[in-house]
A and B are shown apart, each in its own frame.
Chain A
Amino acid sequence: KQEVTQIPAALSVPEGENLVLNCSFTDSAIYNLQWFRQDPGKGLTSLLLIQSSQREQTSGRLNASLDKSSGRSTLYIAASQPGDSATYLCAGTQGGSEKLVFGKGTKLTVNP
């Protein structure tokens, strides 16, 4: 059974700092990987999708990479802002399945 671990569980940084969030899968055979943002009491906002043929995606200050050999993904946030404060979730699918398996998330707080 696929399990997803996100480290750290919580992170507090000063505004302007660059940071890295980590995600690892027990089964490294990840087909697609998505990073999401969830604000308190809200749904999920898709941030980045790394499809099966890709290794990296960038959107603005966000960069996500996937190492399929190890089943690890990182989300890099540059020049963090207070508005980045949220819980960040990673999720992946495995070949032949559309089901997303989620980690528990990293709660990020960016202090002004």
Chain B
Amino acid sequence: GAVVSQHPSWVICKSGTSVKIECRSLDFQATTMFWYRQFPKQSLMLMATSNEGSKATYEQGVEKDKFLINHASLTLSTLTVTSAHPEDSSFYICSARKQGRGNTEAFFGQGTRLTVV
């Protein structure tokens, strides 16, 4: 398999502040990473697709100015939740695919539990 590391695993922040979540592929290069949000007892909802060296592609209904995504290298993507509010509290998970033809398996980070108080 492959390892995707997500940091932090949990964070509590005050309303109005910003929080940055990192997603790293530790043993492979990922041209594309994905950010998901998961509500309790619900499935994963894709928020955006992060492409190395270019702007992220956001899913319909996801505010790009609120959820800032940066994919500066082939092993690191970051999600910044800006001006967080309690309704942003959720479980955020990233995933990455190995670069290269035929490599289609997606690997996931351990997730970040965000609580906004």
Contacts and interface: CB of A to CB of B under 8 A. Distances in A.
A98 B110 contact: no
A100 B35 CA distance: 11
Of A34, A91, A99, most B-chain CB atoms within 10 Å: A99
A104 B41 CA distance: 7
Interface string A1-13: 0001000000000
19 contacts: A41-B113, A42-B110, A43-B4, A43-B6, A43-B109, A43-B110, A43-B111, A44-B44, A45-B108, A46-B1, A49-B104, A89-B43, A91-B44, A98-B97, A99-B46, A102-B43, A104-B41, A104-B43, A105-B43
Contact of B107 (A32, A46, A51): A46
Interface in A30-65: 32, 34, 36, 41-46, 49, 51
> SS class of chain B's interface: helix, strand, loop or mixed?
strand
A32 B95 CA distance: 16
Interface residues of A, number: 23
A103 interface: yes
Contacts of B42: 104
Interface string A89-112: 101010000111111110000000
Contacts of A102: 43-44
Interface of B: 1, 4, 6, 32, 34, 41-44, 46, 49, 91, 93, 95, 97, 104-111, 113
Given A98-B49, A99-B34, A100-B46, A43 B104 contact: no
B34 A100 contact: yes
B35 to A, nearest CB: 12
Contacts of A43: 4, 6, 93, 108-111
Contacts of A93: 104
Of A32, A43, A51, most B-chain CB atoms within 10 Å: A43
Contact of B108 (A4, A46, A104, A105): A46
Contacts of A36: 108
